[in-house]
Amino acid sequence: MPQQLLEYRCPACGASLQFDSGSQQVVCPYCDSSFSPQELIDYDSFLKEDAKNETSDSWSKDADRWDKDEATGLNVYTCAACGGEVLGDDTLASARCPFCDNTVIMKRQFTGEWKPDLVLPFKLDRAAAQNAFRKHLHGKKLLPKAFHSESCIEEIKGIYVPFWLFSSDVSASMRFSGTKSRAWTDGGFDYVETSRYALLRAANARFNRIPVDGSLKMDDAMMDSLEPFDFREAVDFQTAYLSGFFSDRYDVDADVSVDRAKTRFNQTMTSRVSALTGGFSSVALESSTISEHNNEREYALLPVWLLHVRWNGKLYTFAMNGQTGKLVGDLPLDKGRMWKYRLLYGGIFAAILGGLCLLGHFLGCGGGCL
């Protein structure tokens, strides 16, 4: 039976290795050795094993060094370095041992249909995520003051999130009805002439690597907000990039995820083609045909820092793009302050409006003010 867990141990001293986002090398914090991911390619020989060798039996209760915890329903992995237990659900693909920081990689989550095509390596580290969060709070007028001093970052976790990348040549052809009107007065009569047009417009576009997250537990809107990712920095998948990080395998199939990509293709094409109908008094879309060709899909792991922040008994989740540093997440609102601002700005607006009305009366233009 193939071994289920892969550990990234330093070939020189046996300590746990970690990918360093600054140098893009895998480093040993104990003996200062450093390796390029390419030098550690032998760790990935298991990726070539036929998926058929990895039958579902290997996930049975007696499988090599993992078990199901009856109380939590989670899988329990035993860290080979310290014997500590690592808990994870069925999609957990790599994790750090909470006791000794050793990285454990669940081999089966990367074989066969689950083998990623690409990985976008982390470029920003934990400290960058912490700084981005503090910056995110800066200047937020409606944030409760106590949040700055009392909120506590409970956990910062670097995780490779599974994404599907869809590429496609998209053709759109649309039919609109347009009108042009002109009005004039002649001999005491008002005339309006309306001409109607049938407008046919078409456009083609290539969409490259539109990302859709393939993880049920990740909030779709939050993951969408992390874009853009620069896929020119993506590399062929290698487990070396996972050392020191968590990762998940997908649990939403490409066939399901593609609908979200198609919705984006359609929205983009509709707005682009609609923009080609200028110069009319009114335009209404009558029919639309959108089709995709030369479709390609890739399975990629993308870098995300997740921050769990506790304040006032509630947990707030923020996510940072591990490549660009873009941070997203909802902050709590100080409702008292919000009303104060509304009243203040509402008052200023009313005062300006009142001033304008008064000016209107002085100038004798009369109406319009209520």
* Piece in contact with Zn ion (CB under 5 A), picked from 29-37, 158-166, 280-288, 327-335: 29-37
Find the binder of Zn ion among 10, 27, 40, 261 (CB under 5 A): 10
Find the binder of Zn ion among 1, 3, 12, 64 (CB under 5 A): 12
DSSP 9: B
Check residue 129 for interaction with Zn ion (CB under 5 A): no
* Piece in contact with Zn ion (CB under 5 A), picked from 19-27, 30-38, 48-56, 361-369: 30-38
Check residue 356 for interaction with Zn ion (CB under 5 A): no
Q: Which residue type occupies 239?
A: T
According to DSSP, the residues that pair with 182 across neighbouring strands are 193
Check residue 28 for interaction with Zn ion (CB under 5 A): yes
Instruction: Specify the residue, 97 or 165, whose C-beta has the smaller distance to Zn ion.
Output: 97
- Can you tell me the distance from the alpha carbon of 209 to that of 118, in angstroms, rounded to the nearest whole number? 11
Rounded to the nearest 5 degrees, what angle is found at the Cα of 93, between the Cα atoms of 87 and 95? 50
Check residue 81 for interaction with Zn ion (CB under 5 A): yes
Find the binder of Zn ion among 84, 178, 329, 360 (CB under 5 A): 84
Q: In what order do the strands lie in the sheet with 34-35?
A: 18-20, 25-27, 34-35
Q: 3-state DSSP call for residue 78?
A: strand
Instruction: Specify the residue, 100 or 331, whose C-beta has the smaller distance to Zn ion.
Output: 100
Check residue 82 for interaction with Zn ion (CB under 5 A): yes
Check residue 93 for interaction with Zn ion (CB under 5 A): no
Q: Which residues of 105-118 are buried (b: 16+ CB within 10 A; e: fewer)?
A: bbbbbbbeebebeb
* Piece in contact with Zn ion (CB under 5 A), picked from 6-14, 48-56, 150-158, 330-338: 6-14
Find the binder of Zn ion among 16, 18, 21, 102 (CB under 5 A): 102
Size of the site for Zn ion (CB under 5 A): 16
Check residue 31 for interaction with Zn ion (CB under 5 A): yes
Instruction: Specify the residue, 10 or 40, whose C-beta has the smaller distance to Zn ion.
Output: 10
Instruction: Specify the residue, 92 or 309, whose C-beta has the smaller distance to Zn ion.
Output: 92
Q: 3-state DSSP call for residue 288?
A: strand
Q: Is the dihedral of CA 2, 243, 250, 84 positive or negative?
A: positive
Find the binder of Zn ion among 1, 2, 13, 135 (CB under 5 A): 13
Shortest distance (Å) from residue 289 CB to Zn ion: 57
Q: Which residue type occupies 211?
A: P
Check residue 99 for interaction with Zn ion (CB under 5 A): yes
Check residue 87 for interaction with Zn ion (CB under 5 A): no
Q: Which residues of 307-321 are buried (b: 16+ CB within 10 A; e: fewer)?
A: bebebeeeebebbbb
- Can you tell me the distance from the alpha carbon of 80 to that of 69, in angstroms, rounded to the nearest whole number? 18
Find the binder of Zn ion among 15, 27, 92, 105 (CB under 5 A): 15
- Can you tell me the distance from the alpha carbon of 194 to that of 270, in angstroms, rounded to the nearest whole number? 26
The per-residue DSSP string of 319-348 comes to EEETTT--EE-PPP--HHHHHHHHHHHHHH
- Can you tell me the distance from the alpha carbon of 163 to that of 168, in angstroms, rounded to the nearest whole number? 16
Shortest distance (Å) from residue 79 CB to Zn ion: 3
Find the binder of Zn ion among 100, 142, 199, 205 (CB under 5 A): 100
First to last CA, the chain: 82
Q: Which of 128, 135, 134 is nearest to 152 (CA)?
A: 134
Structure tokens at 305: 């820092």
Shortest distance (Å) from residue 11 CB to Zn ion: 8
Shortest distance (Å) from residue 65 CB to Zn ion: 12
Per-residue x/- track, 60-79, Zn ion (CB under 5 A) = -------------------x
Residues that bind Zn ion (CB under 5 A): 10, 12-13, 15, 28, 30-31, 33, 79, 81-82, 84, 97, 99-100, 102
